């Protein structure tokens, strides 16, 4: 962009001052070789600062009907929390299966405690495995315990002498 000067004589000093003012206000680009970085910095200063997003409230908590039953299950079998979950599987965790079965029985007219006891009896083998894991402290220990248990069962099926489990 060029500055158009009228036919009347304007002193050079005021022309320079006018050009500097227009350049400072961003109407005229920097002259070639005058340090484009300063021009970029000037433009950056003209942009308003980014406004951080307003603090939003947490989303509402979603409570499913079986959540209180799952909490009761975890109170009785705390090691069930540490059972590894296969993320590639569509099989729900044992706590959720337990709660769903308990809810079915409660819909049929049983009380919560009666339904809990009945589901415990139905899922006895799976719950026994959890009870046996109570001495194990880590997820790795639980996986090793399960592998040992499966190995012992396989050896019994093949009529081989099983190795004594470390548990």
Phi, psi of 77 (to 5 degrees): -125, 75
Tell me the whole-structure pTM to 2 decimals.
Answer: 0.47
Query: pLDDT-derived band of residue 110, with 50, 70 and 90 as boundaries?
Result: very high
What pLDDT was estimated at residue 47? 74
- d(C-alpha 16, C-alpha 26), whole Å: 15
Among 35, 31, 24, 25, smallest CA distance to 2 is for 31
Distances (CA, A) of 94 to 91, 129, 138: 9, 12, 18
**In the predicted structure, residue 57 carries a pLDDT above the cut 70:** yes
Query: pLDDT-derived band of residue 86, with 50, 70 and 90 as boundaries?
Result: confident
What pLDDT was estimated at residue 116? 93
What pLDDT was estimated at residue 108? 93
What pLDDT was estimated at residue 87? 82
- d(C-alpha 69, C-alpha 90), whole Å: 21
């Amino acid at each position: 962009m060029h500055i158009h000067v009228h036919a009347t004589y304007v002193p050079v000093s005021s022309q320079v001052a006018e050009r500097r003012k227009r350049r400072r206000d961003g109407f005229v680009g920097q002259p070639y070789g005058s340090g484009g970085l300063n021009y970029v910095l000037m433009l950056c200063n003209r942009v308003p600062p980014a406004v951080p997003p307003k603090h939003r409230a947490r989303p509402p908590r979603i409570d499913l009907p079986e959540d209180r039953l799952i909490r009761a299950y975890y109170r009785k079998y705390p090691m069930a929390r540490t059972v590894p979950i296969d993320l590639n599987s569509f099989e729900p965790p044992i706590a959720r299966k337990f709660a769903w079965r308990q809810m079915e029985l409660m819909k049929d007219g049983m009380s919560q405690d009666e339904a809990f006891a009945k589901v415990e009896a139905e899922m006895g083998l799976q719950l026994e495995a959890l009870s046996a894991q109570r001495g194990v402290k880590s997820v790795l220990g639980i996986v090793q315990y399960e592998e040992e248990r499966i190995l012992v069962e396989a050896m019994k099926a093949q009529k081989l002498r099983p190795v004594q489990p470390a548990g």
